[in-house]
Amino acid sequence: MAATVKQETNEEPREPVHLRKAQAQREIAHRIDALSVGITPKREKMLQVYAKVMSGKADPAE
Amino acid sequence: MDLERPYRLEALWRLHATARFSCGDGDIDSYLRDDALQQMEHGLARTFVEIEAAEPDTTKIAGFFTLRAHSLRIQADYFDYLDDEPEESVIELPIIELMYLARDSRLKGRGMGPTLMIECIRIVDEIADRAGIIGVHLRTTRQGERLYLDFDCKPFTWHPHHDRARYVLPIRDVRVIAASARMINEGNTHN
């Protein structure tokens, strides 16, 4: 589907640079996304603190 | 439910008592007092303050955070398949930067840090509804690092200038934390 750019050497033809840059963007985005861990016990605890504060029930030494 | 909340979140404006805010870090206090409003007026950053709900805007600020648009820039030659790009060529990805987040010293140990962090995540979640971003880039001092670790934020090793002061929260995690916070605010207990 993607157009190719002819090289002057005998190397394999490469995709246009804008497509390769888009691939690089996706690669980085994927690596950042791979750091996702969802709602962990630590985050659960932070949400509980938030719930207490926002309900006016936070302990003085939370 | 919102009417019963002990704090309200507001965009910073001139009546907020920034001069009386003290988090224990002079540089951060100085930013809120001297720079934050000007940066707002020039569209460089947005600062939000947490105020006690029953008090007027002129009351002491409980805490604040500052966000701005940011760009993650990676040298193109990092990628084998971009080795024919000019040396100065970069790959850019949109991200939100959390520049500052601090609570007033009088509220230490009262849950204000996590509260500010979750309010911040809720704002980023709203931004992500309107514009593409890959997450939040978190800058921190050594004192602030504990909060980001409590939220399981990851060291931002992908950042070109990576150091211990940079963390990242992927947008997928922003979405799930914000969704949980919404449930809390809608009156659903989280336990």
Per-residue pLDDT reduced to its tens digit, A8-53: 556 678 889 999 999 999 999 999 999 999 999 999 999 999 999 9
Q: Write out chain B residues lying below 8 Å of A32, CB-based.
A: 93, 134-135, 158, 168, 170
Q: What is the C-alpha R_g of chain A? A: 24
φ and ψ of B71, to 5 deg? -135, 125
User: Which 2-61 residues of chain A touch chain B by CB within 8 A?
Assistant: 14, 17, 20-21, 23-25, 27-29, 31-33, 35-40, 42-56, 58, 60-61
Residue extents of the structural domains in chain A: 17-54
- Residue B3 has what pLDDT? 46
Q: Is B21 buried (19+), middle (13-18) or exposed (0-12) by CB count in 10 A?
A: buried
Give the three-state DSSP class for B179: helix
Structure tokens at B112: 């204000």
Dihedral over Cα of B173, B166, B162, B94: its sign: positive
- Residue B157 has what pLDDT? 77
d(CA A36, CA B165): 19
d(CA B147, CA B143): 9
Structure tokens at B95: 């991200």
Q: Which of B112, B172, B190 lies closest to A33 in CB terms?
A: B172
pLDDT tens track for B48-99:
999 988 888 778 899 999 999 999 888 898 888 998 889 899 999 999 999 9
Instruction: Report which of B47, B55, B95 is spatially closest to residue B71, judged by C-alpha positions.
Output: B95
B151 and A45 within 8 Å at the Cβ level: the answer is no
In CATH, the architecture of B2-185 is: 3-Layer(aba) Sandwich (3.40)
- Residue B187 has what pLDDT? 78
C-alpha dihedral over B153, B53, B106, B64, to 10 degrees?
Answer: 40
Residue A59 has pLDDT above 60, yes or no: no
- Residue B155 has what pLDDT? 86
d(CA B148, CA B123): 17
Q: Which of B76, B110, B191 lies closest to A58 in CB terms?
A: B110
Residue extents of the structural domains in chain B: 2-185
Q: Which of A21, A37, A51 lies closest to B184 in CB terms?
A: A51
- Residue B87 has what pLDDT? 85
Tens place of pLDDT per residue across chain B (191 aa): 444 688 999 999 999 999 999 999 999 999 999 999 999 999 999 999 999 888 887 788 999 999 999 998 888 988 889 988 898 999 999 999 999 999 999 999 999 999 999 999 999 999 999 999 999 999 877 778 899 999 999 887 766 667 777 889 999 999 999 999 999 988 744 44
- Residue A10 has what pLDDT? 62
Chain B: nearest CA to A10, how far in angstroms? 15
- Residue B141 has what pLDDT? 78
Q: What is the DSSP string of B26-64?
A: HHHHHIIIIIHHHHHHTTS-EEEEEEETTS-TTSBEEEE
